[in-house]
Structure 1
Amino acid sequence: MRREDDERFQDYFGRSVRALSDYLGIGFQIAGSFAFFVLIGYWADEKLGTSPLLLLAGVAVGMTGMVLVLMKVVRNANRKKR
């Protein structure tokens, strides 16, 4: 009986760690892509003197990317449930 409990715990723990790593990866991908486009917009504004136009464009592109990534994740999660 004790061995079954240990195996069940290991199974649950393993699934939890896999799910956590998937969601952490998605979070880092979203944050990284958003920060990348915002920083590129800021840098371009500094070089071209167009403040804040390119920064705002970077924010818009970053947010669009975030929405696309989230839609992809939700779509994949819905497929796995079926």
Structure 2
Amino acid sequence: MMKRPDDERFPDKFGRSVRALSDYMGLGLQIAASFAFFVFLGYWADTKLGTSPFLLLAGVVVGMVGMALILMKVVRSANKKQ
């Protein structure tokens, strides 16, 4: 079977695209998971302790701080690479 010139370049470009996409997908998953964890933890604690909605709101705040810390870490590492 005869190879076209683009056949050799495509896997490399495709590989780089997939690697870049996986970094961002991993980042999105990490942010969503950290936020959801603290929100659900606050909700669970509210149901057990009867303090609704205070611990849920505390979980939202802690989740948002966690998201900000993750984003700051990513921005710092991106700045170091440049």
Same fold (TM over 0.5): yes
State the Cα deviation string for residues 21-78 of structure 1 (Å, max 9, x = none).
1111111111011001000000101111111100000000000000000111111112
2:72 is matched with which residue?
Answer: 71
Instruction: State the TM-score, normalized to the length of structure 2.
Output: 0.89
Q: Which runs of 4+ in 1 moved over 3 A?
A: none
Q: Which runs of 5+ in 1 are unaligned?
A: none
| 1:6 to partner: Cα distance | 2.3
Q: Please state if 1:38 is matched with 2:54.
A: no
| 1:12 to partner: Cα distance | 1.1
Q: Please state if 1:22 is matched with 2:23.
A: yes
Q: Aligned partner of 2:18: which letter?
A: V
Q: How many residues align?
A: 80
- Give the fraction of aligned pairs with identical amino acids, expressed as a percent: 77
| 1:11 to partner: Cα distance | 1.4
What secondary structure, in the 3-state scheme, does the structure 1 residue paired with 2:60 have? helix
Q: Distance in 1 between matches of 2:65 and 2:33?
A: 13
Q: Which runs of 5+ in 2 are unaligned?
A: none
Q: CA RMSD in A?
A: 1.4
1:53 is matched with which residue?
Answer: 54
